[in-house]
C-alpha cells in the first residue's frame, strides 16, 4: 500500500473529493467504505463517512414505504429523492470545507431499486437530476450465488421485498446493465472491484484506485 504517496498528496489533491460506494445487497460495500474512511483518517486526511438514507426525520417514512403493499407506490422514490436533496446540501458543504466525503449508496441505488418497484428509468433519473456527480464511484461486484448465500446467513427472518431471491436476481441484472452502460463523461468516474476477494485485498485495491484516479 502506497502510504508514503498518500501522505505526500493528502494536503492538496485529496481535499474536497466526493467518493461513492455502490453495490447490491450483501456485496460488502459498507465495509469497504468504512475501511477507506478509517485509512484516510489515519493518514491525516479529513475524511467523512456518510450513507443513504440520511435524514433521521425521513428514515422512518422510507422504511414504512419500503415494505408490504406500499412498495409499489411512487411515494418511496420521492421520499428517497427528498432525503438525497437534504444530503447533497450537506455533502456540498463538506466538500467546500475541504473534506474527503465517502458516501455509502447514492443515485445508482435509486436507479436500481425504483426500477424494481416498476418506475421507468427516465422518471427516476429526472427525479434525481439535482444530485451532484461523485469524483469516483466504486461498484462492489459479487457473484449472485455468493450474495444469495450471504443474505441467507445474515437475514433469518422472512425476506422483505428487496431481499426475496427473485428480487436479488433482478437487482444483480439491473446493476450490471447500468454499470455496463455508465457514461463517465456525464456521471463521473467508475471503478468496478471484485467484492468476492479477501476483504483486506479489496481494501488495498480501493486505496490504490483512489490514488490512481484522484491524485
pLDDT of residue 158: 78
Condensed to tens digits (0 to 9), the pLDDT of residues 26-62 reads 999 999 999 999 999 999 999 999 999 999 999 999 9
pLDDT surpassing 60 at residue 11 = no
- Where does the pLDDT of residue 2 fall: very low under 50, low under 70, confident under 90, or very high at 90 and above? very low
Nearest to 196 by CA among 140, 149, 158: 140
Indicate the average pLDDT of the chain: 93
pLDDT surpassing 80 at residue 4 = no
- Where does the pLDDT of residue 156 fall: very low under 50, low under 70, confident under 90, or very high at 90 and above? confident
Q: CA 125 to CA 111: how far, in whole Å?
A: 7
φ and ψ at residue 53, rounded to 5 degrees: -60, 155
CATH of domain 19-214: 3.40.50.300
- Where does the pLDDT of residue 3 fall: very low under 50, low under 70, confident under 90, or very high at 90 and above? very low
Among the ranges given (4-13, 92-101, 131-140), the one the predictor scored with the smallest mean pLDDT? 4-13
pLDDT of residue 160: 83
What is the four-CA torsion angle of 197, 48, 13, 183, rounded to 10 degrees? 60
158 or 178: which carries more pLDDT confidence?
178
Q: In what order do the strands lie in the sheet with 136-141?
A: 47-51, 100-104, 18-22, 136-141, 189-194
pLDDT of residue 71: 80
Q: CA 28 to CA 21: how far, in whole Å?
A: 10
pLDDT of residue 107: 98
pLDDT of residue 138: 99
Query: β-pairing, 47-51 with 18-22?
Result: unpaired
Amino acid at each position: 500500500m502506497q502510504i508514503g504517496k498518500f501522505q505526500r498528496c493528502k494536503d492538496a489533491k485529496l481535499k474536497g473529493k466526493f467518493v461513492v460506494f455502490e453495490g447490491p445487497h450483501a456485496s460488502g460495500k459498507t465495509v469497504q467504505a468504512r475501511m477507506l474512511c478509517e485509512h484516510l483518517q489515519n493518514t491525516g486526511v479529513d475524511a467523512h463517512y456518510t450513507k443513504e438514507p440520511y435524514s433521521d426525520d425521513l428514515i422512518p417514512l422510507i422504511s414504512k414505504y419500503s415494505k408490504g403493499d406500499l412498495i409499489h407506490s411512487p411515494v418511496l422514490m420521492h421520499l428517497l429523492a427528498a432525503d438525497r436533496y437534504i444530503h447533497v446540501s450537506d455533502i456540498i458543504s463538506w466538500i467546500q470545507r475541504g473534506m474527503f466525503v465517502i458516501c455509502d449508496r447514492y443515485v445508482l441505488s435509486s436507479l436500481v431499486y425504483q426500477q424494481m418497484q416498476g418506475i421507468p428509468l427516465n422518471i427516476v433519473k429526472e427525479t434525481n437530476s439535482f444530485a451532484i456527480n461523485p469524483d469516483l464511484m466504486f461498484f462492489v461486484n459479487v457473484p449472485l450465488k455468493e450474495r444469495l448465500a450471504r443474505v441467507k446467513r445474515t437475514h433469518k427472518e422472512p425476506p422483505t421485498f428487496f431481499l426475496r431471491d427473485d428480487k436479488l436476481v433482478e437487482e444483480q441484472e439491473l446493476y450490471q446493465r447500468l454499470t455496463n452502460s455508465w457514461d463517465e463523461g456525464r456521471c463521473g468516474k467508475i471503478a468496478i472491484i471484485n467484492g468476492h476477494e479477501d476483504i483486506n485485498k479489496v481494501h488495498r485495491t480501493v486505496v490504490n484506485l483512489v490514488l490512481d484516479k484522484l491524485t
